[in-house]
Amino acid sequence: MQIAGYILLAAALIGTLSSTVYLGLVLVAVGKFRAESKRLLLPLAADADLPGVSVIKPVHGLEPQLRENIESFFRQDYPRYEILFGADTADDAALEIVREVSARHPRVPSRIIVHGESPWPNPQTYSLHCLSRQAMHNVLVASDSDVEVAGNYLREVVTPLLKPGVAMTTCLYRGKNVGDFWSNQTAMLMSVEEPAGVLVANLLEGMKFGLGPTIAVRREALEEVGGYEKFHDYSANDFILGNLIYKAGHEVRLSSHVIDHIVNQSSFRKMWQNQLRWRVTERYCRPKGYVGMGLIFAMPFGILGLLAGGLLGNWLLGVALFGWAIVNRLIEAYAVGWVVLRDTPLLRKLWLYPTRDLLGFIVWCVSFSGTKIAWRSSKFELQGERMVLRKNAGHPS
């Protein structure tokens, strides 16, 4: 029993040390982001200096809060922009809401592009490709349909592109839970775990990737790396686009603007499928860094410490390790979720974040078990970073 206790204790101490070091990096990264955010928008650009923007937005069926999400893009404090919506079919249910909202905002040019079923494994990339070819302006802002933005969104996302060498910007996002407990688990992932990783990456090596909910890119930079068709069968077009633009010698910047990512996963199964898809995709996009990701979690090692303390008859040490794991995660959740993202609902449920940390570790472990992912109603298998369609059950209702 004592040997087992010492083994568990050694693992707990290693994990506690690594997660504490990671917390330190997160806190430094939070400070860097806040300092850079103030400088990123300076000097303030006059309306005449801001380029025209084409917002390209694929839609697919009815989603929670879709009307509010779409309307937020029509309420931008920005001088010249258009919005292009892409759909597989003319009878897509989302288009009725698009037409209704567009009619209320006639001063904002908008168009609907029905591009047909995707011949590419990644249908979202195909939609972005079709929309980008129809866009009028030379700055493209690709945005998901399940995000809501503030009125200064375009101004803050586009302004950094005025700086020499900057070809692309991307945004942090906070999870806005409109569902139940399982949705809240994903919302906390979006508001703490994912942005923490992005902030640390930005601290250590700068931005070399993009985040899907928003990517603003100069058209010439997009075309230089081959356009959207370059990665028609990649599972993470956001990550790859940013990486290719960085490798082409351009800068990718993390915008100071934070958007709301709407989350409504009504069951454990939906929550699990989504999170597993994200993690399996991430494992293929950055395999070396992903292996070490297991050491950034705190709660699994706190539990190991508690078990070790019990086996060794040293409950004080076990409780101390477990207690520090909880405090560690609460500090991280507060620093990222509140100091950076200003996520008020998260602040009210901060005490739940340690459960999210434990779930995140479990998803990370399971992500090594296979190469298959589920997206919408289709099944895919990853071969490297590419998607191969295995099964398509038709569009969901």
313 by DSSP, 3-state: which?
coil
> In this structure, is residue 269 part of a structural domain?
no
pLDDT of 377 reads 57
pLDDT in tens, 314-327: 999 999 999 999 99
Considering 230, 264, 298, which residue would you say is the last residue of a domain?
264
H helical segments located in 54-107? 66-74, 93-104
Number of domains observed in the structure of the chain: 2
d(CA 185, CA 194) in angstroms, rounded, equals: 12
> In this structure, is residue 282 part of a structural domain?
no
396 band by pLDDT with thresholds 50, 70 and 90: very low
Of residues 211, 216, 217, 218, the one with CA closest to residue 172: 211
d(CA 95, CA 78) in angstroms, rounded, equals: 24
CATH number of the domain that 92 lies in? 3.90.550.10
Q: Which of 34-43, 125-134, 249-258 has the lowest mean pLDDT?
A: 34-43
DSSP 318-331: HHHHHHHHHHHHHH
394 band by pLDDT with thresholds 50, 70 and 90: very low
Q: Does pLDDT of 306 surpass 60?
A: yes
Higher pLDDT among residues 14 and 279, named by residue:
14
> In this structure, is residue 273 part of a structural domain?
no
pLDDT of 343 reads 95
Considering 249, 264, 279, which residue would you say is the last residue of a domain?
264
282 band by pLDDT with thresholds 50, 70 and 90: confident
pLDDT of 236 reads 79
Which residues, including other chains, have CB under 8 Å from residue 313's CB and lie 6 or more apart? none
Query: Mean pLDDT across the chain, nearest whole number?
Result: 90
Q: Does pLDDT of 376 surpass 80?
A: no
Residues 235 and 377 in one domain: no
Say if residues 396 and 377 touch (Cβ distance below 8 Å): yes
Residues 39 and 26 in one domain: no
pLDDT in tens, 114-147: 999 988 888 889 999 999 999 999 999 999 999 9
Q: Does pLDDT of 350 surpass 70?
A: yes
Which residues, including other chains, have CB under 8 Å from residue 31's CB and lie 6 or more apart? none
Quick one: average pLDDT of 234-255? 91
Q: Which of 228-237, 247-256, 308-317, 360-369 has the lowest mean pLDDT?
A: 228-237
Residues 184 and 320 in one domain: no
Cβ atoms < 10 Å from Cβ of 10: 12
Q: Which residue in the block uniquely carries the two structure tokens 């591009």? A: 115
Which residues form the domain of 323? 2-30+287-392
Q: Which of 154-163, 299-308, 386-395 has the lowest mean pLDDT?
A: 386-395
Peptide bond before residue 354 is cis, with ω within 30 degrees of 0: no
Residues 230 and 331 in one domain: no
d(CA 81, CA 296) in angstroms, rounded, equals: 41
pLDDT of 265 reads 82
Residues 19 and 41 in one domain: no
Residues 10 and 56 in one domain: no
Quick one: average pLDDT of 302-309? 96
d(CA 194, CA 206) in angstroms, rounded, equals: 16
390 band by pLDDT with thresholds 50, 70 and 90: low
Helix, strand, coil % over all residues of the chain, rounded to 5: 55, 20, 25
Q: How far apart are the first and last CA of the chain?
A: 55
Residues 309 and 360 in one domain: yes
115's tokens: 């591009």
> In this structure, is residue 280 part of a structural domain?
no
| Per-residue exposure over 183-200, b if at least 16 CB sit within 10 Å of its own CB, e if not | bbbbbbbbbbbbbbbbbb
The single-letter code of the amino acid at 104 is: R
Q: Which of 248-262, 275-289, 336-350 has the lowest mean pLDDT?
A: 275-289
Considering 264, 297, 328, which residue would you say is the last residue of a domain?
264
Residues 13 and 145 in one domain: no
pLDDT of 375 reads 59
1 band by pLDDT with thresholds 50, 70 and 90: confident
Say if residues 54 and 137 touch (Cβ distance below 8 Å): yes
Q: Give 54's strand partners.
A: 82, 140
